[in-house]
Structure formats: C-alpha cells, structure tokens
Structure 1
Amino acid sequence: MSELKASTQVVVVGGGMAGLAGALALRANGADVTLVERAPEFGEVGAGLQMAPNASRVLKRWGLLEKALEIGVQPKHLVFRDALTGEELTRQSLGHEFEERYGAPYVVIHRSDLHRILLDACQDAGVRLVNDVFVEKVETVNSRAIAHTANGDTYEADVVIGADGLKSTLRPAVAHDGPVPSSYVAYRGTVAITKGTPVADLEDVIVYLGPDCHLVQYPLRKGELLNTVAVFKSPSFERGEEQYGGVDELEAAYKDCIPAVREALKNLATGIRWPMYDRDPIENWIHGRLVLMGDAAHPMLQYLAQGACQALEDAAVLQDATVGSVFADDGVDTGAWDRALSDFNSARAARTARVQRTARIWGESWHVSGVARILRNLLFKSRKDGDFQYNDWLYGQTGDGVPAAHAAAETRTELLAGTRD
C-alpha cells in the first residue's frame, strides 16, 4: 500500500541548480514547497561555473549575488586565443561598462559553492527538503498532481516541477526522445594557485580554440584555485564508450597545441571524464500538472556557458508567471495554474531552444580546422572589445528580440560551421 505524504502546493523533483532555484522562486511567492532529491545527500559534482549577467541578475533579485561575489571571482576579461599559435582572437572586457549595460556582473564560481548558496537559501526560506526519494512518474487527477515514488509513497500537489536533469525520468511524459551524444568529452580539474602558477591569465576567463578541441581556464574562490577544462572529440565516445581507460586520447587531441595549453593538461583530474550530451529542443514542457524546467526541459552543450544560467532564468520567469492568483489566500482560481504554466512554457521554450541550437553552432565553429579555422579567426578578430552586438540577445535584460546585426553574425557563424546552406 502506498503512503500518501502530506499535501503541498508544489513538489519539485530534483535537487540540482534548477530544482533549488525553482523551489526558491515559488517559495518567494508564498507557495508551500516540498523538494525531493533522489540522492541520499544534497551536493553538486563538477568544478567551475560561469555566471553571465542574465543569471547573476536573478541572484541579485533574490538577494544572493553578494554571497556569490564573496566566494566567487569577477574576471576582468573573456579572452579567446588560437590553441595552435597562441594568437589572441578577440576579448570582451567585463568591467563597469559591461556590468552597467547588463545590470549585473560576470561571475565565475565553483559549482558546489553556488549549489550551497541556493540550498541554504531554500532552507532559510522554509522549503521542505527530502532526500532518498526517486519519483518514477507523475499523473494528474482532478487538477492535482500525484508523484509516484519507487518505494510506493506518493506526493500530492497542485503542480509538480520536473527538474531531474539531462536523463530526466519525467521527460517521457512530454517527449519520446533521448540524450544526443556530441562526440566530445571533457576532463576537468582544479588546482591550488601557487607562486609558481603563471600569473598572466589569472584575472581572466581564457578559451583556447583548436581543431577538434578547446581548453578553458579561469580562477575560482577569490583566486585561490585555478579551474581547467579540456574538451575534445573522442573516438572512443563516438564508439559509445562513456569512460576510457587511459589518457592517450587526451594527449593526442592537444599534441599540436602551444606549450601553455599542453602544460595546462597537467591540472586535470583524469580519473573520470564527462561525455557531453544535449537533446533536441521541444516546444511543450507540460503534461497535466507536471512541468519541466532546467536540463530536464532544455539540456544544452556548454559552449555558451548557459546551462545553469538558463535554469536560473527558468526560475525567475516561473516566479513571475505564478505571482498573484495562484497563491492567493482567498482561494485559487482552478485555471490559474494552467494559465501560469502555459505562460511560463510560452515565455521560455523559444528562448531556450535558441540557446540550445546556438550552443551547437558555437561549438562547431570553435573546433574547425584548415580553411575554416582561418576564416573563423578572421571573423573573431574583426570583432573589437566593447562590441556588444553578439552579447545582447543572450545577456540583455529582456531576452527577446534578435538585433539584425546579431542575426547576420549568427548566419556567418553557421556558414563557418558548415551547418547552413
């Protein structure tokens, strides 16, 4: 016999960035929120995370930006270089003008630190947090969502938020698809910054672009750690092997890169690698009183550094869509949740689909070789520091509309990547 847990207004499934952000946003609107997490403890795996201003604005809204700045780093520049020559291709200053334009700073932070900030905020706000709960399916009965767990318990709510990640168990309710492998894998690592660490790039986010590979470095935790990420096309992953017993693929991928890039590979933890997947965009995230958000709705490749950023955007838009009648004290309009979820889905699906597709194109342009690399470098070098036309659509405070200059630039990038006729 299943045990029916206490009814609540909202059940959030998944205790990652998206789930915590969604729970916090709805709790801020006055909802009674229960968040259930499959793992026995809350935590976040990984290393560094780039928080562009479209995400740090959300933290600012919730009063959490200062906490992120206390433990994170505000880089001075975002710099792209050619991995084969070391030549600088373009840079974006991230100082006062950038922050004024977008209403918040660019911040790099350890994933576990941001996760802890959101978790603490949820606890302080009164979100009910429950571990060791695996939700297998959600059904809608008489305008109520029933979440069925693996151990036979059920949770009843007005709505269930599915934030259970790339390999979401709840996504099949709205889409019969699966994760799309990219052929690329990542190794990550953080090492302490010492007196022997080269100081030239310790204030910037540096991206080295090479054929079928790239490498990213930036400081974390107030400059105490150096974060390194190496991404490359993996023959073994293309054969279907997520893990691989050796580093020969890693070393081969970067053999033609400059010494600084090859030296940076020593910073990586090579015991585990991270196969890179996304999914094709979908228009509908709703099934009855179940709605997806975060990677469950729109998993994306990391080339725009927007995975967590878009999850925070989701939460902010969901907060706006549900303010007012959904949580009114004088009774709930039975259609209020349906309208709120529809408004949320409509506001987010096209936006996140564009980010998903652009991330794929952006990654392809990073990894080209031969003539395409020469053309890519020329295009990058044609952009001057302080030219915001390529950033506004993504970081801008409305998130809607495509400036004509950006649309043209996006088309040029697609042509370079060979994805447009």
Structure 2
Amino acid sequence: MNPQVIVAGGGIGGLACALALSRAGVQVVVLEQAEAFGEVGAGLQLGPNAVRVLADWGFMDALQACAAFPEALRVRDAHQARQLGHLRLGAMALARHGQHYATLHRADLHGLLLDAVQRRPEAQLIRGTRVASFQVSGSAVQVGLDTGEHLVGAALIGCDGLWSRVRAQLLGDLPPRATGHLAYRGLVRAVDLPAPLRANVVTAWLGPRLHVVHYPVKQGDWINVVAVVEGALAPGGDPHGWTHEAHATDLRRALGPACGELMAMVAAVPEWTLWPLHDRAPLRGAHEQAQGPVALLGDAAHPMRPYLAQGAAMAIEDAWTLGQLAQVPAARSDWPGLLAAFARTRWQRNARVQQISQRNGTVFHARGALRWARDRAMGLLGERLLDNTWLYDGPPEPEPVTGH
C-alpha cells in the first residue's frame, strides 16, 4: 500500500484534513489509534470562519439538522448576574460576516466529517494503530506503526492532537504545559432548565479566577455547560476516576458566592467530566508547523486555551488551506513546497489566536483593577469589543506555492 498522504489521527482535524485533500483528488490514508472512530467531549462553538469552510464542503443542510444557531452572546457577572456585554449573532453574524455562528455537539461534527470521508474513494481509514516513528527518505516519508507495519507516502500530516507523536519527533520539544486551569464539562436537557436558561444564546459568566459558558446544542434540545476554574489536580490524580458528586462539590466550592441563576444551571447538570487544560506557547514560525514533507495540523501544531472558542475552527481552517493548495496539480508534485506554503499561510494566524486565547483567560478571570477595567470597556465599547472581524471573515486564501 503506497498512499500519497498519510494522516495521523482520526479526530475532527484529521478527518477534516482527509476530506479536504481527498476533495482535491489526493489519495489519503487516515490512521486512528482507537478501534472505533469517535469524538470525546461535549459541545463546541463554530464562528462564521469555520462555518464558511463547512459550507464550502457542502455541509450546510447537515449542519442545520444537528446544530443550534444562537441569536446572541451575553456576558454576565457570575456573582451579581448583571449583564456586562452583548454581541448580536444570528442574522447579524450572517450580515456582518457572510456566514452563520453555530454551536453543536463535538460528536455530531465528527460524525458529519467521518461520513463524508467514508464516501470518498480517495480516502482509506485504518483503525487500531498509530504512528510510532517516521523517517524522511528522499521524496518519501516512511511511517512505522505500532503494529510493526510500515507505510510509505509522499507526505505525513500530524493531526494526532495535544500529545502528538508526530510533533514529538519532528520538533523534539517538551510536552504540553499545564495551564493551571480545570474545565468541568457537562450536558443538560433544555426541558430540565428554567425558561431563562433555555434561551438560544451563548452565555458567558465571568468571576474572579473562574468563568462559566453555556450554549445550546442538538438544535437546542440540550445545553452544553463548561465551567473553568483555576487550580490543579493532586499529583497523580485521575480526573476521570472521580465521582460526579466529588466533581460537583469541588465545582460549587470553586464558584463561591455565584448568583442563583448560575448555580441553578450548575446544579441541573447530571454528570460532570473534569479536564485539566494544557497548551503550548504560540507558534514562533512556519518551521513549527511544517518541515519538508511533514506538517502538523490542529492541536498537534497549535493547542490553545478554549477562551476564544476557536480550537476546532483553526483545525478546520488548516485542513481547508491544505485542500486549496492541493487543488493545483503542479503543487502535488512537490509536497515539501506545498507544506511550506501551508505553514507560511497558517502559522501567524494560528499564533495570534493562541495569544488572544491565553490573554482572554486572564481577562475572564480578572480581579481588582483589571476586572473593573474589563467591565468598563465592555460597557463603553459594546459589540466593537466582542466582535472579531479579522477572525470571522477568514480563513485567508493560501499563499502560492513557490517550489524549490
């Protein structure tokens, strides 16, 4: 078997990559370590930049059938319940940015991508194995698998997430860093909530050293809730080995004197999962996203804190950019040149989103003078502060392939 491009990882980024390349006529094989493809986690937000890509791939009807399309973003004080800021979404997002703002369950997006990839004759999916090592030899990449088998391709795209093996060998850098933030995630049926909490909006509650975000998924039938607090697991602690009661007790303690509306939302969640958040420093150059015939995509390249709601979107943008470049037949004869153009196009935008995501965590959790300044700015600047035209009008067209 001699696939043209080997994609490591079958998550959202890996499947998006495989779909984009296969649509360009590239033969792709996807390696997924799990025996069954799936996506853990709960909800995600997709700004107009990501929805624009999904529309380009023909997903709008399918997205309408599983997503929600919030009418607004509301920012509120976690203790006093007062509104700090407001951004119109819905029809206004469509008017401003030419595309919708969507919220959906991660498994629904993963399922759409998986179904699309399985329909592509150019794409092959291999389950139950992952990259153990790779070696660049001339114009080819030889990839060793955990099973002891080897594959040879013209390029290797590492879409294998935060703990990427492809990245570890390509860059030889340190493991991801703990952020000191813990994310509690849960889902609750909308019918189990008081009417004000079922609204078709994204609500962000900001408090000292914490914030909570909730929004509709599955066409509004469910509400996804994410509570982020500052703290760390005990050494050797397993967040998935604890009980719901322990998670709920710890979360209530961390929220402190939160307002009644927020505590009602937290109390309604029937099951919490706990995720210690990790990230990396922002990308420092194109060399950190591609070298020769090997590239990194999504969290393998630029893991980010979820405080701009762009992690999945940046992976989808990465994939779209690769697909656009691969549509040029001449470019596919020079994968190092194609991947270099990919990295030049993507790294600064990805780094900027990483930087802002990290900064937002500080602003969301602010205390004292910074908290006062944040609230004052949202009150004075309103939607101008919350809208991100530079981001939502993307993704940018890729740079041309210069070749060697």
Shared fold per TM-score greater than 0.5: yes
In the alignment, does 2:222 pair up with 1:221? no
2:338 is aligned to: 340
Query: 1:96: Cα distance to partner?
Result: 2.4
Residue in 2 aligned with 1:249?
250
Identity %: 34
Gaps of 5+ in 2: 398-404
Partners of 2:46 and 2:221 in 1: how far apart? Answer: 18
CA displacement at 1:197 relative to structure 2: 3.0
User: Which amino acid in 1 is paired with 2:160?
Assistant: D
Contact 2:211 2:228 (C-alpha < 8 Å) held by counterparts? yes
Match of 2:305?
301
Residue 185 of structure 2 is aligned to residue 181 of structure 1: no
CA–CA distance in structure 1, aligned partners of residues 219 and 78 of structure 2 = 27
Code of the residue aligned with 1:101 in structure 2: it is R
For this pair of structures, how many residues does the alignment match?
387
Amino acid at match of 2:191: T
CA distance in 1, matches of 2:47, 2:220: 18
**In structure 2, how many angstroms separate the alpha carbons of the residues matched to 1:164 and 1:354?**
22
Among candidates 362, 371, 374, match of residue 373 of structure 1? 371
Shift of 1:388: 7.2
Distance 1:357 1:195 in 2: 37
| CA distance in 1 between partners of 2:144 and 2:104 (Å) | 35
| One-letter amino acid of the structure 1 residue matched with residue 147 of structure 2 | N
1:137 match: 133
Shift of 1:269: 5.4
* Contact in 2 for aligned 1:187/1:270 (Cα 8 Å): no
Paired residue type of 1:63 = G
Of residues 87, 93, 108, the one that matches 1:92 is 87
SS in 2 for 1:304: coil
Q: Which amino acid aligns with 1:260?
A: E
Q: Contact 2:26–2:326 at 8 Å: present in 1 too?
A: no
Q: Which of 186, 190, 195 is residue 187 of structure 2 equivalent to?
A: 190
Alignment of 1:100-119 (within 5 A): 100-119=95-114
Q: 1:275 — aligned with what?
A: 276
Mapping 1:383-402, distance limit 5 Å = 383-385=381-383, 387=384, 390-397=387-394, 399=396
- 2:49–2:395 CA contact under 8 A, matched in 1: no
RMSD: 1.9
Aligned match of 1:41: 36
Q: Tell me which residue corresponds to 2:267.
A: 266
What SS class does the counterpart of residue 176 from structure 1 fall into? coil
Alignment of 1:225-236 (within 5 A): 225-236=222-233
- Determine if the alignment matches structure 1 residue 23 to structure 2 residue 24: no
Residue 85 of structure 1 aligns to which amino acid in structure 2? Q
8 A contact 1:234–1:249 mirrored in 2: no
- Match of 1:164? 160
Partner amino acid, structure 2, of 1:367: H
Residue identity matched to 1:202? A
Of 205, 220, 236, the residue aligned with 1:208 is 205
Q: Deviations over 1:260-309 (max 9, x none)?
A: 11222224455530111111123222233211101000000000000000
Change over 3 Å in CA distance of 1:240–1:85 after alignment to 2: farther
Residues 269 and 299 of structure 1: is their aligned pair in 2 closer, same or farther, counting only changes over 3 Å?
farther
Which residue type is aligned with residue 58 of structure 1?
A: V
How far 1:216 sits from its partner (Å)? Answer: 1.0
Q: How does 1:358-369 map to 2 (within 5 A)?
A: 358-369=356-367
Give the letter for the 1:155 counterpart.
Answer: L
The 3 A distance-change label for structure 1 pair 154 and 195 is closer
Contact 1:187 1:269 in 2 (8 A): no
Assess, with a 3 A threshold, how the Cα gap between structure 1 residues 240 and 354 changes in structure 2: closer, same or farther: farther
Report the Cα distance in structure 2 between the residues aligned to 1:163 and 1:73, rounded to whole angstroms. 27
Deviation string 1:380-409 (CA, Å, 9 cap, x unpaired) is 111224x37841121123559xxxxxxxxx
Q: Distance in 2 between matches of 1:264 and 1:97?
A: 27
Give a deviation string over 1:344-363, Cα, whole Å, max 9, x none: 00111111011001100011
1:201, distance to aligned residue in structure 2 (A): 4.7
TM-aligned CA distance change 1:186 to 1:267, over 3 Å = farther
CA deviation after TM superposition for structure 1 residue 259, in Å: 1.0
User: Whole-Å Cα distance in 1 between the matches of residues 165 and 63 of structure 2?
Assistant: 31
Task: Give how far 1:176 is off.
Answer: 1.0
**Alignment match, 1:406:** none
- Paired residue for 1:57, among 52, 57, 79? 52
Q: What SS is found at the alignment partner of 2:363?
A: helix
Shift of 1:240: 6.7
Are 2:149 and 1:153 aligned?
A: yes
